[in-house]
Amino acid sequence: PVDLHNIQGDIFPGLPKKFEAYWFIQIRDGQVNQFRTKLFKLLPLITSAAQAQRDQDQIDHYKGSPAFNGQLLKLSGVNIGFSHKGLVKLGIADPITNTTTDPFQTGMFNDIGNLNDQADKWLPDFKKDIHALIFITGESLATIHERYAELKWILGSTIQEVKLTVGNVRPGKENGHEHFGYLDGVSQPNIQGIDKSPDPNPVEAPIPQGLILCKRDGDVIGTSTDPFPRPDWALDGSFMAFRYLTQNVPEFQAFIDAKNPPGAPQDFLGARLVGRWKSGAPIDLTPLHDDPALAADPIKINHFTFDAQSQERCPFAAHIRKTNPRGDFTPDIAEKRRILRRGIPFGPEVSPIEKQNQMTVLDRGLLFKCYQSQIGVGFQFLQQSWANNTKFPFGRTKIPTPGFDAIIGQDPNGGDRTMDISATNDPNSSLDLPVEWVISKGGEYFFSPSISALREVFAL
């Protein structure tokens, strides 16, 4: 059984948060051993899965109690991950991936040819060497700042800051919604033997632990006859893909408003691009109108598969169908690709002037982060082989090609994209999508070690 005191809490069950600081750092030359000593001092601050669960229980209990006056409990979490460059810097020579072409080893910037990112869109900071990512969650900016100051004081001159960026949950009714307005964090895989019952995801079978946690059942690396032996300390670590994605919200909404079919409910077209209405209700269950009551039901909101032969209810290239095709294939195909998403929006709300001019002025978007036991099976595969691949899902003969994932699909040359949205399998209803709704401006791949590995292998 997995020891929840030994897994970093962001992997599972996720750190409770209203704000989250992402602190990208370099370990200074000549300071490696000093850094490792400081890391040892920092270990008591790392939030385990067990602690994160206790924090969430405490929040739920407090919110349900008569003492709750709207003020949030002061709580903070800290987790850490290392890039491949970070492992090299630390002199941790044991390879945790089996080939030099593994995306973790190449790093995300060298992987952008596979992801179809445009190098000139990347922020200069993400082109620098990043050794580690420390992230800090909290209920307020003040709490985050306190923790940040404490970590900075502990690590002192052993590190240099590359970038600090802070995400925040959106205010009021938009709480839990990403910047385009859609409810996020709805569909997450359940992990065998770890997730609490009752199972919030009744249709999909729980996934093997090894799809998320290294060296657990289902973490098949190498071939079945020649499996790659990861070092023992990789056990219960997980690979994290981080993406700095900006979203052009007024432009997206203006497009939807302009192209929404006459007579259709507001955001009908947007729902067909995403696969869910803004409330979170899946269009596979309610294709013609939003249904907030359905969305509020934690079982019904995920109670659908997709009809493999038809996109009458949900386009094949809708974002949630591209990234989790469910019943489009036999269960093993989609299940193998499940990831745990742990992102947070960043940036201000759209201003009245941006809305009026239908033009983004201030950067906002998603600090996307997800966990899997192999980047090439999870995030990289979803982006490269499904979202960017206009022919996926394959073999759907009634339409010419499904097209790009409307939300995250990227053309290799940064060109325009098309998507088939026909509700009637009409071969002529391909929709031209402008390039710039979600723009990748950077990121990196990290390894989030278990807490015992941090103590015994990383720290001194």
Measured from the CB of residue 99, what is the shortest distance to ligand N7H in angstroms? 21
| Structural contact between residues 406 and 208, judged by C-beta atoms closer than 8 angstroms | no
- Angle between helix axes 32-42 and 141-155 (nearest 10 degrees) is 140
| Structural contact between residues 174 and 348, judged by C-beta atoms closer than 8 angstroms | no
Burial 81-95, CB ≥16 within 10 A → b, else e: bbbbbbbebbebeeb
Does the footprint of ligand N7H cover residue 419 (CB under 6 A)?
no
State residue 31 phi and psi, 5-degree precision. Answer: -120, 15
| Structural contact between residues 245 and 365, judged by C-beta atoms closer than 8 angstroms | yes
Cβ nearer to ligand N7H, comparing 10 with 451: 10
Q: Which of 180, 244, 268, 346 binds ligand N7H (CB under 6 A)?
A: 180
Cβ nearer to ligand N7H, comparing 34 with 192: 192
Q: Quick one: which segment of 49-57, 65-73, 184-192, 219-227 binds ligand N7H (CB under 6 A)?
A: 184-192
Distance in angstroms (rounded) separating the CA atoms of residues 27 and 31: 7
Instruction: Compute how many residues bind ligand N7H; rule: CB under 6 A.
Output: 28
Cβ nearer to ligand N7H, comparing 20 with 184: 184
Does the footprint of ligand N7H cover residue 249 (CB under 6 A)?
no
Does the footprint of ligand N7H cover residue 276 (CB under 6 A)?
yes
Cβ nearer to ligand N7H, comparing 233 with 437: 437
Distance in angstroms (rounded) separating the CA atoms of residues 385 and 168: 31
Does the footprint of ligand N7H cover residue 284 (CB under 6 A)?
no
Q: Identify the active-site residue in 111, 184, 328, 405.
A: 184
Distance in angstroms (rounded) separating the CA atoms of residues 409 and 387: 5
| Structural contact between residues 43 and 459, judged by C-beta atoms closer than 8 angstroms | yes
Measured from the CB of residue 184, what is the shortest distance to ligand N7H in angstroms? 5
Could you give the string, one character per residue 303-342, with x where binding to ligand N7H holds by CB under 6 A and - elsewhere? ----------------xx--xx--------------x-x-
Does the footprint of ligand N7H cover residue 439 (CB under 6 A)?
no
Least Cα distance to 289 among 309, 311, 272 occurs for 272
Measured from the CB of residue 33, what is the shortest distance to ligand N7H in angstroms? 37
Hey, how many other C-beta atoms are within 10 angstroms of the C-beta on 153? 9
Q: Is 369 helix (H, G, I), strand (E, B) or coil?
A: strand
Measured from the CB of residue 283, what is the shortest distance to ligand N7H in angstroms? 11
Query: Which distant-in-sequence residues (6+ apart) come within 8 Å of 131 by Cβ?
Result: 25, 26, 27, 82, 83, 85, 86, 89, 90
Distance in angstroms (rounded) separating the CA atoms of residues 182 and 250: 14
Q: Quick one: which segment of 7-15, 42-50, 239-247, 347-355 binds ligand N7H (CB under 6 A)?
A: 239-247
- Locate 144 and state its tokens: 């985050």
Distance in angstroms (rounded) separating the CA atoms of residues 77 and 52: 8
Amino acid present at 284? D
Does the footprint of ligand N7H cover residue 96 (CB under 6 A)?
no
Q: Quick one: which segment of 73-81, 123-131, 177-185, 190-198 binds ligand N7H (CB under 6 A)?
A: 177-185
Does the footprint of ligand N7H cover residue 407 (CB under 6 A)?
yes
Q: Quick one: which segment of 25-33, 207-215, 379-387, 411-419 binds ligand N7H (CB under 6 A)?
A: 379-387
Cβ nearer to ligand N7H, comparing 42 with 245: 245
Catalytic residue list contains 420: no
Distance in angstroms (rounded) separating the CA atoms of residues 67 and 363: 38
- For the chain, counts of helices (H) and of strands (E): 15, 11
Q: State the burial class of residue 414 (Cβ atoms within 10 Å of its Cβ: 0-12, 13-18, 19+).
A: middle
Does the footprint of ligand N7H cover residue 187 (CB under 6 A)?
yes
Q: Quick one: which segment of 1-9, 130-138, 155-163, 378-386 binds ligand N7H (CB under 6 A)?
A: 378-386
Q: Which residues bind ligand N7H (CB under 6 A)?
A: 178, 180, 182-187, 243, 245, 247, 274, 276, 319-320, 323-324, 339, 341, 365-366, 368, 379, 382-383, 407-408, 438
Q: Which residues are catalytic?
A: 184
